[in-house]
Amino acid sequence: MSRKQKLHEPLPLDFDDVLTAISDEQRPAETSFSARPFLKWVGGKRSILDELIRRLPTTYTTYCELFLGGGALYFAVKPALAYLSDVNFHLIVTFEAVRDDVEGVIRELTIHSAHHSKPYFLEGREKIFTETDSTKLAAWFIYLNKTCYNGLYRVNKAGKFNVPMGSYKDPTILDEDNLRLCAQVLKNADIRQHDFAQKKPQKDAFYYVDPPYHKTYSGYDGTGFGDEQHKNLALFCRKIDAAGGFFMMSNSDTPFIRGLYDGFAIETVSASRSVSCKGGQRGKEQELLVRNYE
Ligand SMILES: C[S@@+](CC[C@H](N)C(=O)[O-])C[C@H]1O[C@@H](n2cnc3c(N)ncnc32)[C@H](O)[C@@H]1O
């Protein structure tokens, strides 16, 4: 544990970013009017949000989430200053469109809601790869996410979205109020599409690191996330630590992952998982949380 004292020291006055998300008292309370993730996402962290929030650093500058997915922790924390990234192009275009043109996204989703059917869903699976307008692409992405099997995002070798339609009676395709709340939260967020390793670690920034689980579902974009990527991520977390940043990493509890983070604070919490290594299974599993601070 290299940063034990850090949290209780005053921050220097000359840091690059504006101080944000200072303490529990300043964090907005969860209410029914709070923004919730507008996407279902495999590996989404809603089931362990309380555990994650309890373990956030007391002080930090920018909130960085480099494996954004549905952004469950981000929407719960609502940091004033955020850097959000993911390798998934469609996901990032969608977040940008909700931030920049939420009314346009709502308008398009109104059309999709009215036309929802199996043929329309199949049309959407094609459209998402040919659409050049980002607002329309975002609406197709949200529509597919709400109507496909388990909200899964999976592409085949040719890069085509190939998840079948889910068997929902009346899926909620459009939640206008929540989309507008999400747009407000996202207003000042810096949103980028890239690999986690492309972000240069910064002093006093907080990194929530939530990669595809080791040894379970990792097919979000067709390239997977294997042992090599987990090793690279552990090196990246050590760079965050060396730069004077804070990281919290969640993952499956395997000896391999524990070995990679030897020397940091390692804990387990109980989490509900919707996709396991056998695919499509649900259940409670132990989730590993690793931090470089207390
Ligand atoms: C477990 S999910 C994140 C879930 C998210 N925390 C939530 O609450 O919904 C993992 C995410 O990592 C992304 N991802 C996979 N490989 C990546 C890489 N090399 N760099 C950045 N993101 C990656 C996937 O697209 C996926 O969205």
Ligand 1 atom 20 nearest Cα: 195
The per-residue pLDDT for range 110-148, each reduced to its tens digit, is 999 999 999 999 999 999 989 999 999 999 999 999 999
Lowest mean pLDDT: which of 24-28, 77-81, 152-156?
Answer: 24-28
Predicted confidence at residue 153, as pLDDT, reads 87
140-182 confidence digits (pLDDT tens): 999 999 999 988 888 888 888 899 999 988 899 999 999 999 9
For domain 6-87+194-291, give its CATH number from 3.40.50.150, 3.90.850.10, 3.30.565.10, 3.30.230.10: 3.40.50.150
Residue nearest to atom 27 of ligand 1 (CA): 69
For domain 100-179, the CATH superfamily is Adenine-specific Methyltransferase, Domain 2 (1.10.1020.10)
Quick check: CB of 196 below 6 Å from ligand 1? yes
127 lines ligand 1 (CB under 6 A): no
Query: Secondary structure of the chain in the HEC alphabet?
Result: CCCCCHHHCCCCCCCCCCCECCCHHHCCCCCCCCCCCCCCCCCCCHHHHHHHHHCCCCCECCEEECCCCCCHHHHHHCCCCEEEEECCHHHHHHHHHHHHCHHHHHHHHHHHHHHCCHHHHHHHHHHCCCCCCHHHHHHHHHHHHHHEHHHCCCECCCCCECCCECCCCCCCCCCHHHHHHHHHHHCCCEEEECCHHHCCCCCCCEEEECCCCCCCCCCCCCCCCCHHHHHHHHHHHHHHHHHCCEEEEEEECCHHHHHHCCCCEEEEEEEEECCCCCCCCCEEEEEEEEECCC
Query: pLDDT tier at 285 (50, 70, 90 boundaries)?
Result: confident
Please state the domain extents for the chain. Answer: 6-87+194-291, 100-179
Structure confidence at residue 104 (pLDDT):
98
pTM: 0.86
Pocket test for ligand 1, best of 67, 237, 288 (most atoms within 8 A of CB): 67
Question: Does the C-beta of 74 come closer than 6 Å to ligand 1?
Answer: no
